[in-house]
């Protein structure tokens, strides 16, 4: 659990360490010949990810077959495309505002379940005008055909209070399946204005590979893992704490700021926020703030929730693509009778982690350097799932007691002004982010939470900031913390300056101090993941 005393001590150490390392950092940034180390780019060849585990239940062959079938069906559901009322595409409930119309369209690189693809379907599939849609806003400042899929969040509301929420890019206005809902009554947000006033931040789809293993890792393991390196981290000015559920205090693992407690919640929220589909977890249609009753009425087409448990089998096709004999009957598989969000969560839960190809001497050397310079203090190479779900008594017993290599501690860390996005989620402040799991990095195309770069070197560099830089901290929490080096008063909706810098500064300085060939080894190692 988070401790005020350790927090104070850690920050006191951090200030001191940072002072010592500041010169090193600057020196490193200025003199190391970074230009000679080059990001080798996304690893080619077949996807090192996608699909499920070879075995899901090692105690019962019948259950194992059923589990594998469940995954196969859930995979199909993950690819379902939504239209407003299921009249154009089979999926039902798109909008009124949305960022995309299918889970798999965003989570696709290098395989279904991954992250943003090379060609942004938001642009190349002409989402703004799909099926008659009349979205007219200029999106070119943050979306491009070769850039990442993005969602937009606004930092503040027009009245200066904190926002932080997702402002969907598209609306259903003008679509043939949204008669009466026009762009006049349901306009897109003014993205240009938000960007010009630095009020807009971006997030890209997060890779989902292996998340089931993360879900099956106990809080105790995560805490022990974090504690094990506490002194080493402190020496480098690295803190780290877990985001947690405000209800039960347990660790939350998922999302860029580790804001989501479970895969099911994550799936339910994403379905609602990204696609606009109301479901049994998030049952309210999302309209832009301040929408009038008449707008809501004119642009509401379905009963809620739009996605729910099925009492009659709705699936027209079986996994094999053949007509489903149980269509519209009370008979069906767990997948068929379950809601979309249950299927999405099941798909992610059973989605295997990426397979690394670390084998060359350069990659293996890079792996050692990755640890020796301190990257691995946050990007933890190894964790183990436990029999926390009941072992053979629980679901998917083959996934219990599994050693896996996420390269993340799933804790949140202050990342300084370069990454600060002004948005607080749960305990995570504006510059705090979950340590991004690096598994599968070798085939990822866009890096950091906003997909700002495709270059690993830039991504690494942006982990650091200079100590003189301050982050804007905003908090909706109401508590008071003594930092040792200065008091910070967290008040509801307060906006304050935090001048702590990035916890990664020392490590990035160490990276910058490496010989170019060593840096290249690190890059090669990362691209082998």
Q: State the binding string over 139-178 for another protein (x if CB under 8 A, else -).
A: -------------------------------------xxx
Helices 505-513 and 4-31, axial angle in degrees (round to 10) = 30
Q: Which is nearer to another protein, 125 or 333 (CB)?
A: 125
Query: In the Cβ-directed half-sphere of 360, how many Cα atoms lie within 13 Å?
Result: 13
Collect all residues with Cβ–Cβ distance below 8 Å to 223 and sequence separation of at least 6: 1, 242, 251
Q: Which is nearer to another protein, 130 or 513 (CB)?
A: 130
Per CB under 8 A, contacts with another protein among 106-135 are 125-126, 132
Stretch that binds another protein, among 82-90, 104-112, 371-379, 406-414 (CB under 8 A): 82-90
Reduced to 3 states (helix: H, G, I; strand: E, B; else coil), residue 82 is strand
Q: How many CB atoms lie within 10 A of CB 112?
A: 21
Q: Which is nearer to another protein, 22 or 296 (CB)?
A: 296
What is the smallest separation between the CB atom of 280 and another protein, expressed in angstroms? Answer: 19
Q: State the binding string over 84-103 for another protein (x if CB under 8 A, else -).
A: -xxxxxx-------------
Peptide bond into 163 cis (omega under 30): no
Question: Could you tell me if 12 and 484 are in contact, meaning their C-beta atoms sit under 8 angstroms apart?
Answer: yes
Residue of the chain from 22, 81, 235, 485 that contacts another protein (CB under 8 A): 81
Q: What is the DSSP letter of 251?
A: B
Question: Could you tell me if 210 and 459 are in contact, meaning their C-beta atoms sit under 8 angstroms apart?
Answer: no
Q: Which is nearer to another protein, 160 or 303 (CB)?
A: 303
CA distance 217 to 213: 6
Tokens of 121: 């379907």
Residue of the chain from 300, 333, 355, 472 that contacts another protein (CB under 8 A): 300
331 binds another protein (CB under 8 A): no
Reduced to 3 states (helix: H, G, I; strand: E, B; else coil), residue 23 is helix
45 binds another protein (CB under 8 A): no
Question: Which residues face 351 on adjacent strands?
Answer: 52
Question: Which residues face 213 on adjacent strands?
Answer: none
What is the smallest separation between the CB atom of 98 and another protein, expressed in angstroms? Answer: 17
What is the widest separation between alpha-carbon atoms in the chain? Answer: 71
Residue of the chain from 249, 323, 390, 486 that contacts another protein (CB under 8 A): 323
CA distance 356 to 370: 15
What is the smallest separation between the CB atom of 184 and another protein, expressed in angstroms? Answer: 12
Q: Which is nearer to another protein, 81 or 495 (CB)?
A: 81
* SS3 annotation, 460-499: HHCCCCCCCCCEEEEECCCEEEECCCCEEEECCCEEEEEC
What is the smallest separation between the CB atom of 51 and another protein, expressed in angstroms? Answer: 22
Residue of the chain from 41, 158, 179, 394 that contacts another protein (CB under 8 A): 179
Stretch that binds another protein, among 83-91, 186-194, 376-384, 492-500 (CB under 8 A): 83-91
What is the smallest separation between the CB atom of 281 and another protein, expressed in angstroms? Answer: 21
470-493 burial string, b = 16+ CB within 10 Å, else e?
A: bbbbbbebeeeeebeeeebebeee
Stretch that binds another protein, among 2-10, 295-303, 362-370, 406-414 (CB under 8 A): 295-303
326 binds another protein (CB under 8 A): no
CA distance 142 to 288: 20
Tokens of 43: 């690893």
Residue of the chain from 145, 297, 330, 392 that contacts another protein (CB under 8 A): 297
Q: Which residues bind another protein (CB under 8 A)?
A: 81, 85-90, 125-126, 132, 176-180, 293-294, 296-303, 316-317, 321-324, 327
């Amino acid at each position: 659990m988070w401790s005020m005393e350790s927090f104070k001590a850690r920050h006191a150490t951090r200030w001191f360490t940072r002072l010592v390392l500041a010169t090193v950092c600057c020196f490193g940034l200025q003199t190391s010949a970074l230009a000679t180390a080059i990001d080798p780019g996304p690893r080619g060849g077949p996807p090192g990810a996608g699909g499920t585990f070879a075995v899901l239940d090692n105690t019962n062959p019948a259950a194992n077959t059923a589990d594998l079938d469940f995954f196969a069906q859930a995979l199909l559901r993950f690819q379902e495309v939504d239209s407003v009322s299921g009249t154009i595409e089979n999926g039902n409930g798109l909008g009124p505002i949305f960022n995309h119309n299918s889970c798999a369209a965003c989570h696709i690189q290098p395989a279904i379940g991954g992250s943003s693809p090379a060609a942004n379907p938001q642009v190349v599939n002409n989402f703004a005008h799909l099926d008659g849609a009349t979205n007219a806003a200029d999106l070119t400042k943050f979306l491009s055909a070769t850039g990442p899929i993005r969602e937009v969040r606004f930092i503040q509301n027009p009245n200066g209070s904190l926002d932080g929420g997702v402002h969907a890019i598209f609306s259903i206005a003008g679509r043939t399946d949204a008669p009466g809902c026009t762009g006049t009554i349901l306009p897109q947000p003014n993205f240009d204005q938000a960007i010009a006033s630095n009020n807009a931040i971006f997030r890209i789809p997060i890779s989902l590979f292996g998340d089931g293993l993360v879900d099956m890792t106990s809080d105790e393991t995560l805490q022990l893992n974090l504690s094990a390196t506490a002194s080493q981290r402190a020496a480098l000015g690295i803190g780290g704490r877990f985001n947690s559920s405000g209800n039960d205090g347990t660790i939350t693992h998922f999302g860029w700021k580790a804001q989501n407690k479970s895969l099911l919640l994550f799936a339910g929220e994403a379905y609602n926020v990204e696609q606009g589909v109301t479901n049994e977890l998030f049952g309210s249609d999302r309209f832009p703030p301040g929408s009038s009753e008449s707008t809501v009425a004119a642009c509401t087409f379905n009963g809620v929730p739009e996605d729910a448990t099925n009492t009659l089998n709705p699936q027209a096709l079986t996994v094999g693509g053949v007509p489903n004999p149980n269509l519209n009957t009370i008979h069906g598989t767990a997948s068929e009778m379950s809601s979309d969000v249950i299927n999405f969560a099941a798909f992610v839960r059973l989605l295997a982690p990426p397979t690394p190809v670390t084998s060359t001497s350069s990659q293996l050397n890079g792996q050692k350097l990755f640890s020796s310079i301190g990257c691995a203090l946050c990007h933890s190479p190894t964790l183990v799932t436990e029999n926390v779900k009941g072992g053979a008594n629980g679901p998917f017993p083959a996934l219990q007691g599994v050693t896996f290599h996420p390269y993340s501690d799933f804790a949140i860390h202050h990342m300084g002004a370069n990454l600060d996005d002004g948005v607080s989620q749960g305990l995570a402040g504006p510059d705090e982010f979950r340590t991004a799991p690096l598994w599968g990095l070798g085939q990822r195309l866009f890096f950091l939470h906003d997909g700002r770069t495709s270059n690993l070197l830039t991504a690494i560099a942006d982990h650091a900031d200079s100590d003189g830089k301050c982050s804007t901290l905003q908090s909706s929490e109401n508590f008071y913390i003594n930092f040792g080096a200065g008091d910070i008063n967290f008040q509801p909706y307060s906006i304050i300056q935090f001048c702590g810098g990035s916890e990664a500064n020392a490590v990035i300085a160490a990276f910058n101090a490496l010989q170019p060939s060593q840096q290249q080894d690190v890059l090669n190692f990362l691209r082998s993941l």
